[in-house]
């Protein structure tokens, strides 16, 4: 609606556009409730009655705004994935020209480990993986947008460091994979089975990061002389 002769802008997928504020409030409440419930209980064990009750909204309203349960789910998951994606994008941003490369890598490892073990990411990973049979496209999309993107960022950063002589490598993508999974491999594997309860404490995370950096630098560090 609106302007004088202007085009009607339909901005559904972008979410917050210029819509009736009532609809916005309603959608926000539903999204918030559904996000919490899906992440907590999974797809099948979350009924839309639950979502409606938690959102303080009638079930019909959910159907009016989201079509059906599958579309609600994909919208929820893509939304959370987007925030995870932003977070991942910031991982290597502060990866400037530090002096001590070991220290730089340690910081990167810690940030990577902390991000992967954060409750939100843990729940998201487990949810998407668990529903990947029912939503294969969604799972592929998440994988492409989060883990793949992180490795790619590492790869670019390592290629830079190699060009400056701080690292020695021929395949920066492989080096990025090695770094990433030296850091998060074991804990990631355990988390898939035991959930957030398996996340190690800060001290252990620090030890993991240190050991990973040490192994990585032994293989990819610049020759001392």
74 binds a second copy (CB under 8 A): no
Binding mask 22-41 for a second copy (x = CB under 8 A): -------------------x
CB 20 within 8 A of CB 11: no
Residues 6 or more apart in contact with residue 182 via CB below 8 angstroms: 211, 212, 215, 216
Torsion sign across C-alpha atoms 125, 42, 193, 128: negative
Residues 6 or more apart in contact with residue 187 via CB below 8 angstroms: 113, 116, 117, 198, 199, 200, 208
182 binds a second copy (CB under 8 A): yes
Count of residues that interact with a second copy, criterion CB under 8 A: 43
Q: Which does 103 bind (CB under 5 to 8 A by kind): DNA, a second copy, none?
A: none
Give the binding site for DNA (CB under 7 A). 1, 20, 22-23, 26-27, 45-49, 56-61, 63-65, 68-70
CB of 47 to DNA, least distance (A): 3
Distance CA 93, CA 116 (A): 17
186 binds a second copy (CB under 8 A): yes
Which spans of this chain sit near a second copy (rule: CB under 8 A)? 41-42, 44-45, 125-126, 128-133, 136, 139-140, 142-143, 147, 151, 171, 174, 177-178, 180-182, 185-186, 188-190, 192-195, 211-212, 214-216, 218-220
């Amino acid at each position: 609606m609106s302007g004088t002769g202007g085009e009607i802008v339909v901005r559904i997928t972008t979410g917050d556009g210029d819509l009736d504020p009532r609809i916005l409030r309603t959608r926000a409440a539903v999204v918030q409730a559904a996000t919490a419930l899906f992440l907590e209980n999974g797809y099948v064990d979350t009924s839309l009655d639950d979502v409606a009750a938690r959102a303080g909204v009638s079930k019909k309203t959910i159907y009016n705004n989201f079509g059906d349960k599958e579309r609600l789910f994909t919208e929820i998951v893509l939304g959370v994935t987007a925030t995870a994606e932003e977070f991942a994008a910031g991982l290597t941003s502060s990866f400037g020209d530090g002096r001590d490369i070991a220290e730089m890598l340690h910081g990167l490892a810690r940030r990577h480990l902390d991000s992967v073990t954060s409750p939100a990411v843990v729940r998201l990973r487990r949810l998407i993986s668990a529903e990947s049979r029912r939503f294969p496209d969604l799972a592929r999309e998440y994988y492409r947008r989060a883990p793949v993107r992180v490795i790619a960022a590492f790869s670019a950063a390592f290629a830079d460091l190699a060009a400056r002589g701080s690292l020695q490598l021929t395949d920066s993508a492989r080096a990025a994979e090695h770094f990433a999974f030296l850091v998060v491999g074991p804990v990631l594997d355990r988390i898939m089975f035991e959930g957030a309860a398996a996340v190690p404490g800060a001290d252990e995370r620090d030890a993991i990061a240190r050991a990973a950096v040490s192994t990585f630098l032994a293989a990819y560090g610049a020759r001392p002389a």
